[in-house]
Chain A
Amino acid sequence: MSAHWAALLTDTVCDNSLRIDPQGVAVWALQFSPRVALKDQTVLLEVEQSLRLFGGEDHVHQLVETGAGELGISQVAWAPTSLAALACARLGMHDGFSAPLAKVLDPLPFECIDAVNAHGATLARLGCRTLADVRKLPRGGISRRFDSHLLLALDQAYGLRPEGYPWVTLPETFCAKLELPGRVDTAAALMFGARRLLVQMCGWLSARHCGVTAFTLYWCHDAMRARDAGDGGEITVRTAQPTQNLDHLSRLLTENLAKVTLKAPVGDLVLSATEVTPFMEETLSLLPDIRSTGEAVNLVLERIEARLGKKRVLRPVLTEDTRMEWMNHWQPMNAKRPISKVRQVPGPQPTWILKTPLLLDVKNERPFYQGPLQLLLGPERVEGGWWHRVKAPEGDGQHSLNVARDYWVALSQHAGALWIFQQRLPKDSAASWYLHGLFA
C-alpha cells in the first residue's frame, strides 16, 4: 500500500523567536489525518487516506505547508516513507516524490537517518558516505557487525518493510501554552503569539468536528514584575455561533485585546477552549446556500460589538408600558430575547425619540421649536409609573418614575411632525412643554 508522508521539523525555527511545541503541532496536524506520530522533535504525518477529502495532493500540500508556516515551521518534506520524508526534511529537500524513492535516497549522506548515524564512525571508516554506500555492504555482514535497527531502518526508509508508530491521540480538551521569546509590554503585541495558539486550536476543533463558542486567553506576568501586578490576567472571548474560522476568532481576539492594558510585561500565554459545541460545517455543494450570508452578517455584527462594546450594538425589546421611555428598551445583540408577545400600543407613535425630553420655549401659551408649533392632535394622557421605583442618584432614598403627561402631535414648519407633551404635575403651576419624539 502506498503512503504519503510529511515530516515537519520543529527544531529548526524559521524566525528564531518562538519555540515550537511538537505536541501542539501534532494536535494541530490531527485535523488532516489520524495518523500522526512524534519522533524526537519531528512530527510525522501520513495523509494518503485523506488526499481525496482535502481536494487532492497539491491542495493538501498547500494546506499543510501554510498551516505549518503559521506555526513557525519552515521545513516540511514529503515522501513515500516516513524516514525518507524525515531525511529529506533534514537536508532541506521538499519533495521526495520527484523521482523513484531509491534514486532520491541513494545520494543522501547516511547521517540523515538516525539508526544509521548511530554507527556513523564505523561506517565512515569503511569508506561510506551516502546511503547507497551503506546499502552496498553485504546484508549478512551488516546484521552481524551492527545492531538490527540499522537494517530495519534502512529497509523502512526504502519502503521494503512496513513502518509502525504509536499514533498521537486527540486530547479531549484543548489547552496550549506558549512561552514568548521576550517580554511583551502591550496587549496588542500579544496577538503575535496568540495567533499561533489559535491556529493550533482551530486544528484541534476541526479534528474534533466541533466549533468554539468561548475561548480564554490567559497571560502570566514576567517574573520581574511589580508586586501589585499579580500573576497575570485573562480574557474570555465569546461568539454567538460555534465557529472554527481562524480569521474570525483572531479578529475578535484582536479587538478584545485592544481594550486591555497589561499591568506588567508578559512572559507566557495559555489558550484554552472553554466552551465547545458540535459544529455543522458549511456545505461545499455546488448550489449556493442563501443562509450562509446571514451568518456572515452576524459575524460582522459580533466583530463590531467586540470593538465598540456590548452596549453599542443593540436590538429593541418591546415591553407593555405606556410610558414612552420604557415602551421599548435596547439590549445587546446576543442577549436572550423574551418570547412573550407584546400588545401594541394604540394610537400614533413617533419613529425617533429623544433620550431625555427637551424643554421647549413657550411664548403666548404656544410652544416653540424652530418656530411656533401648531398643535394638531391631542391630548393623549399618559399616566402611571408609580410602581417603578429606582434609587435616587444622590442619597439612598428611592423615587418613583411616575409620569403624568398630555401628549400632542404638533407641526413645525421646519422640523415636521413632533410628539410633544405637557407636564401635568400638581406642583408645576406653569404649563411646561417638552419635545419627546419626531415623526420623521
Chain B
Amino acid sequence: MDLAILLIYTVNDKIHMSAALQRIVNAVTPAGDGVSQPFDAGQLPNNVSQAIWRGTEVTQASQTVVASGFPSLDVQLPGGGWPCNALTELLQPQPSLCEWRLLAPALAGLVASGGQILLVGPPKRPHAPGLVKLGISANNLVWIAADNPAERLWCTEQLVKANPRGGAILAWLPQARAEQLRRLQVHAQACDCPVFIFRPQAAQLDASPAPLRVLASLGTDWELHVRILKRKGALLEGTIVLNSIPGTLESVFALRLMRPSQLIAKPEASHVSTLGSAVNRHRLRQLAAH
C-alpha cells in the first residue's frame, strides 16, 4: 500500500479537507477484504491532489527552476532543475574544477534571455573568450573581484537582495559559516534567480541551510560524478554520472580523445612527438594556420 502524506496548505477549507481525508481512508482501506489497492491521487478533488506529497517523490511543481541541461541530473533535482528562490551549494574537491562544465548549459539559457551572470570572488580570472564559446556572452558577465570573506559575503548578500531576475549569482564562499549561509538563504527566498555557492568538499560534513547540496567531482573519460547530498525529498544514494566534455574541446577532439583513459594506460603516448598523431589532423591544420 502506498504511503501518502497529506500536506494541508489551506486550512481555511476545513470541511473540504475532512471530506477529502474520508475519501482517502475509504480508498486506502477497502472494507475488510485485505486486498491493497494502489492509491490514486486522481480520485481526489483537484486542489487536494496537488497538495499531496508522497515520501518517495522528488518533484515539486510549485518551485521555479532552471533546467540544468543534463536530463539525468534534472530527473533527480527537485522541480527538475536548479532551484530559484533558494541557495544551491556546490561542493568540489578543489576550486575551479568543474564549475562551468556543470553550470554552463543552464547559464547559457539564462544569458540567451538577457540575464546577467554575476561572479563574486571566483578563485581564478574568468576567461571571457572561453565563456563566449559556451554561450555566456561578454556583455552579460560581471566579475566582482572581492578578496576577503567578509567582502564576498557582503557582495553576495547585496546581490541576492537586489534580485537580478533572469540572471544567476555565482559566489565562492569557502569560509562561510552556517549562520552566514542561513542569512543568505533567508534573503534568497525572495530572489527569483538561482544562487550558487561554491564550497570545498570538506564542507559536506558541516550542516548547511541550503536546501540543495551537490558534490561534483571528476570521473574518468570526461565524466562528472555528481552526488546530491541534500535535497527536498528522498535521499539519493549513489552517484549521477554526467558525460560532459568541456564545451570548447568537444569540436576539436578526435574520437580516441573522447576516451583519454585508454591513452593514459600507454606511457609512451605522453611523448610530444607521438602525440601529434592522436590529434584530428584536419582540426590541427586549422589551429596551426591562424
Residues of A at the B interface (CB closer than 8 Å) are 290, 293-294, 296-297, 299-301, 303-304, 307-308, 311-318, 322, 324, 327-328, 330, 333, 337, 344-355, 365-366, 372-381, 409, 411, 413-417, 437-440
- The answer to whether B272 touches A351 (Cβ under 8 A) is no
Interface centre among B130, B138, B264 (most CB of A within 10 A): B130
Contact among A314, A378, A438 with B143 in the assembled complex (CB-CB below 8 Å): A314
A413 to B125, CA, bound (A): 22
- The answer to whether A312 touches B101 (Cβ under 8 A) is no
Q: In this assembly, does B23 line the interface, its C-beta being within 8 Å of a C-beta of chain A?
A: no
Tally of B interface residues using CB under 8 Å: 65
A330 to B139, CA, bound (A): 11
Contact among A311, A312, A354, A372 with B270 in the assembled complex (CB-CB below 8 Å): A372
Residues of B at the A interface (CB closer than 8 Å) are 93-94, 96-101, 104, 116, 118, 122-134, 138-139, 141-146, 151, 154-155, 158-159, 161-165, 167, 218, 246, 248-249, 251-253, 257, 260, 263-264, 269-272, 275, 278-279, 286-288, 290
Determine the chain B residues whose CB is within 8 A of the CB of A324 once the complex forms: 127
Minimum Cβ distance to chain A for residue B285 (Å): 11
- The answer to whether B100 touches A440 (Cβ under 8 A) is yes
Q: Tell whether A318 pairs with B249 under 8 Å between CB atoms, given A304-B158, A347-B286, A349-B127.
A: no
Contact among B97, B118, B145, B290 with A346 in the assembled complex (CB-CB below 8 Å): B290
- The answer to whether B286 touches A346 (Cβ under 8 A) is yes
Q: Tell whether A328 pairs with B138 under 8 Å between CB atoms, given A314-B145, A380-B288.
A: yes
Determine the chain B residues whose CB is within 8 A of the CB of A333 once the complex forms: 142
Q: Tell whether A378 pairs with B142 under 8 Å between CB atoms, given A349-B127, A417-B249, A439-B249.
A: no
Contact among B100, B143, B161 with A300 in the assembled complex (CB-CB below 8 Å): B161
21 A-B residue pairings within 8 Å (CB atoms): A297-B159, A300-B159, A308-B146, A314-B142, A327-B129, A348-B252, A352-B100, A352-B123, A352-B124, A352-B126, A365-B272, A366-B270, A372-B270, A374-B264, A374-B270, A376-B257, A380-B287, A409-B249, A414-B93, A416-B101, A438-B124
Determine the chain A residues whose CB is within 8 A of the CB of B270 once the complex forms: 366, 372-375
Minimum Cβ distance to chain B for residue A397 (Å): 29
Determine the chain A residues whose CB is within 8 A of the CB of B123 once the complex forms: 352
- Please give me the residue from chain A that is nearest to B127 by CB atom: A353
Determine the chain A residues whose CB is within 8 A of the CB of B141 once the complex forms: 315-316
Minimum Cβ distance to chain B for residue A84 (Å): 46
Minimum Cβ distance to chain B for residue A207 (Å): 29
A415 to B217, CA, bound (A): 10
A375 to B268, CA, bound (A): 11
A414 to B260, CA, bound (A): 14
Determine the chain A residues whose CB is within 8 A of the CB of B122 once the complex forms: 352
- Please give me the residue from chain B that is nearest to A345 by CB atom: B129
Determine the chain B residues whose CB is within 8 A of the CB of A416 once the complex forms: 97-98, 101, 218, 246
Q: Tell whether A365 pairs with B252 under 8 Å between CB atoms, given A315-B141, A350-B130.
A: no
- Please give me the residue from chain A that is nearest to B251 by CB atom: A348
- Please give me the residue from chain B that is nearest to A437 by CB atom: B127
A317 to B132, CA, bound (A): 11
A425 to B269, CA, bound (A): 25
- The answer to whether A376 touches B97 (Cβ under 8 A) is no
Minimum Cβ distance to chain B for residue A310 (Å): 11
* Apart from A337-B139, A348-B133: 9 A-B pairs, beta carbons within 8 A: A293-B163, A308-B151, A315-B143, A316-B138, A317-B138, A372-B270, A377-B253, A409-B249, A438-B124
Minimum Cβ distance to chain B for residue A370 (Å): 8
Minimum Cβ distance to chain A for residue B65 (Å): 19
A374 to B96, CA, bound (A): 19
Minimum Cβ distance to chain B for residue A112 (Å): 49
Contact among B93, B130, B134 with A437 in the assembled complex (CB-CB below 8 Å): B130
Determine the chain B residues whose CB is within 8 A of the CB of A303 once the complex forms: 158
Q: Tell whether A377 pairs with B279 under 8 Å between CB atoms, given A349-B248, A417-B249.
A: yes
- The answer to whether A377 touches B249 (Cβ under 8 A) is yes
- The answer to whether A318 touches B218 (Cβ under 8 A) is no
A185 to B248, CA, bound (A): 57
- The answer to whether B162 touches A440 (Cβ under 8 A) is no
A374 to B116, CA, bound (A): 36
Contact among A297, A315, A378 with B279 in the assembled complex (CB-CB below 8 Å): A378
- Please give me the residue from chain A that is nearest to B165 by CB atom: A293
Determine the chain B residues whose CB is within 8 A of the CB of A350 once the complex forms: 127, 130, 248
Determine the chain A residues whose CB is within 8 A of the CB of B246 once the complex forms: 348, 351, 416-417, 439-440
Q: Tell whether A315 pairs with B130 under 8 Å between CB atoms, given A347-B287, A374-B264.
A: no
- The answer to whether A355 touches B125 (Cβ under 8 A) is yes
Determine the chain B residues whose CB is within 8 A of the CB of A293 once the complex forms: 162-165
